[in-house]
Copies of this chain bind each other. A is one copy, B any other.
Amino acid sequence: MSRKVPKRVFLTEDQMPTKWYNVRADMKEQHDPYINPGTMKPIELEDLLPVFCTELAKQEGDCQTRYFDIPEEILDFYKIYRPSPIVRAYELEKALDTPAKIYYKFEGNNTSGSHKLNTAAAQTYYAKKQNLKGLTTETGAGQWGTAMAMATAYFGLDLIVYMVKCSSEQKPYRKAVIETFGAQLIPSPSETTNVGREILKNHPNTGGSLGCAISEAVEKAVTTEGYRYVLGSVLNQVLLHQSIIGEECKMQMEMIDEYPDIVIGCAGGGSNMGGVMASFMQDKLLGKTNPYFIAVEPASCPTMTRGKYAYDFCDTGHITPLAKMYTLGADFIPSPDHAGGLRYHGMSPVLSKLYHDGFLDEARAVVQTEVFDAAVQFAKYETILPAPESAHAILAAIQEANKCKESGEAKTILFNLSGTGNFDMGAYTAYREGKMKNYVPSDEDLAQGFASLPKIPGIQE
């Protein structure tokens, strides 16, 4: 069979984008400023410097620079695993018998197994450039911790990873990979921080939480000479670095004379959706095209579909700045769900603003058994075993392709296959054995989370 479009579209190294795109430069309205919870005033650059590398703190606040040159050293790192292919899902299309054309950007071809490496490399490089000694971070599902372990091994920095205790026990292999790359892994809560000791005193048997691990990692960074803290999602700087996904996508689709009608990403903290949509969102913001954007989240943690657009802490320890975003409340405890990377109470302020203003068209909540139905169907035909997080986007893509089958429309669908599921076999086994449950929080559960939203005099009462 002769196909007009190849199965996989690559870019050469020379064609790889050399700039990150900052979507905020094209937004007519910016998200409300971060607020310092100590002063209840908008945050200043200086407030961020004890926590973040200087260059990254600057990127965090920059809503004017449209393109940032990617430093040569980061480009060299990217070249080890980028450009990543766009793949035409011929086999899946055939199985679905749909007139739709389905494309996926595959970001899983690296040892971390996900797109997280794009920002891990950038954040580590800037830390190295600042002559820092080391970095701290947290990890839940483990993809971010792995990406950071790889980047710090490469650039020669120390790394301390606070891994949610129950995850470090459930995912011993993730822990092993992180340690193989030379990082120090500490199950959280731990005795190494005040916040950790406090939690252990009150809850000696807790399995930990992402919010608690964030609090520990931040405390460790600000109290250790030559250390800073890094975060793998939510932040503006992360969206900036992940824009390389969208920039590549747009070039690759142009090469095959395509443009997406629908762009789909999963949404936990926003780095996945923010990455794949970047360059197409620019077109929409500039009024050039009008693609339909869908952010897919787990029904167990329905930040955009059932959350509030409000100021909130980014961590359960209440030590980070306040961000205006869609949130379920920093104290909301998501039910167990196998897409650990999407189990976060908040959402990127940029994505939240774009959703609130109608540029990000739709948020869709889905239950995990249906997500795994889609994952297994996809694996069978496309041979890639997806991460549970990425499988949220697969499910929505299949839903859209099925709509095309009904309507007869040959829409072009693009989704971000952000990672592989090689370290998620516990989840796949639970699914296969029929032991997977669909958790959906009740209105009362949500009310409890909302009750923890902070009061800000004159802004949020």
Q: Is the CB of B182 within 8 A of A385?
A: no
A151 (CB) vs chain B CBs: closest residue: B383
Name the segment of A6-14, A199-207, A343-351 touching the other chain: A6-14
Name the segment of A31-39, A173-181, A409-417 touching the other chain: A173-181
A1 to B113, CA, bound (A): 27
A430 (CB) vs chain B CBs: closest residue: B176
Contacts A79-B6, A111-B384, A425-B173 given; indicate if A180 touches B13 (C-beta within 8 A): no
Q: Is the CB of B422 within 8 A of A383?
A: no
Q: Which secondary structure dominates chain A's binding surface? A: helix
Contact of A110 among B181, B383, B426 (CB under 8 A): B383
Interface flags for A11-43 (1: CB within 8 Å of B; 0: not) read 011100000000000000000000000000000
Q: Is the CB of A176 within 8 A of B425?
A: yes
- Flag whether A190 is at the interface (Cβ < 8 A): no
A375 (CB) vs chain B CBs: closest residue: B180
- Beyond A81-B383, A172-B429, A179-B432, list 17 extra A-B contacts (CB 8 Å): A1-B72, A6-B13, A7-B13, A8-B13, A109-B109, A110-B383, A111-B384, A111-B420, A111-B422, A113-B422, A153-B380, A176-B425, A176-B429, A176-B432, A177-B385, A180-B376, A180-B428
Offer 29 A-B interface pairs, CB within 8 angstroms, sorted by A: A6-B12, A6-B79, A7-B13, A8-B13, A8-B80, A76-B90, A80-B87, A80-B91, A81-B383, A91-B154, A110-B383, A110-B384, A111-B383, A111-B384, A111-B385, A111-B422, A154-B383, A173-B173, A176-B425, A176-B426, A176-B428, A177-B425, A177-B428, A179-B432, A180-B425, A180-B428, A181-B379, A182-B380, A422-B422
